[in-house]
Structure 1
Amino acid sequence: MARFHVYRLKQSETLVIDLQAGLFDALKTRIVAPLIPAPDIDHVMAGLNPRVTINGEAYVVAIHLMAAISVSELGALIGDLSHQRDKIVAATDFAFQGF
């Protein structure tokens, strides 16, 4: 598991981004946020919901929907958003700190 990697959930077509620090890889859970296709979401808060591109498709990172899930729910590795690290970390900070 690697922070900022994107996975498809095994039981659905949902994509999620791993937000959890690698320091906690021994845990059997990961903190993730779903990626919602940009055309499917009407209202986003730019600071809370960064836009990203995976395989040429636009998505919104739904930080406000983050949750802990079992590692066993993660399916195929789809991509790596490490290059968007600053934007994603700023969004998680905004969710918890409000700034």
Structure 2
Amino acid sequence: MARFDLYRVSSRRIPLMVDVQAEILGDLASRIVIPLRVLEQAEEPPLPRLKPVLMIGDQTYLLLTTDMGAQPVHWLGKPVGNIKAHRDEITSAMDFLFQGF
């Protein structure tokens, strides 16, 4: 499992989750993930520093940083991609959530 791997979720509301946990902690039974929601289906507005908009493939998603949580590794399955190209935006959103800057 690699940081910023994407996992498909069998939910219409949340189709993808991104793994944000440090790879050095890969032996743990769970991973910290952030849900991604298709922007057009999002009920909440984008907040650039906290809930940024990410373009993944040909779809625009809202990173729901405030909804991050732990999921069991066996529940995630196999990754369907990796979005390390969005590393700075994701890390900045987490910094803002936890540090306020």
Post-superposition offset of 1:98: 0.9
User: What is the total number of aligned residue pairs between the two structures?
Assistant: 97
The one-letter code of the counterpart of 1:8 is: R
Q: Compute the RMSD of aligned alpha carbons.
A: 1.2
Q: Does structure 2 conserve the Cα–Cα contact (< 8 Å) formed by 1:29 and 1:71?
A: yes
Residue matched to 1:93: 95
Residue 35 of structure 1, CA deviation: 0.3
Scaled by the length of structure 1, the TM-score of the pair is 0.91
Which residue of structure 2 lines up, in the alignment, with residue 3 of structure 1?
3
Give the Cα–Cα distance (whole angstroms) in 1 for the partners of residues 40 and 6 of structure 2: 19
Shift of 1:65: 0.2
Deviation at 1:17, TM superposition (A): 0.2
Q: How does 1:1-99 map to 2 (within 5 A)?
A: 1-9=1-9, 12-13=10-11, 14-41=15-42, 42-99=44-101
Taking only the aligned residue pairs, the percentage that are identical comes to 38
Where structure 2 has 5 or more consecutive residues not aligned to the other structure, the ranges are: none
Q: Give the alignment's TM-score, normalised by structure 2.
A: 0.89
Going by fraction, where is strand more abundant, 1 or 2? 1
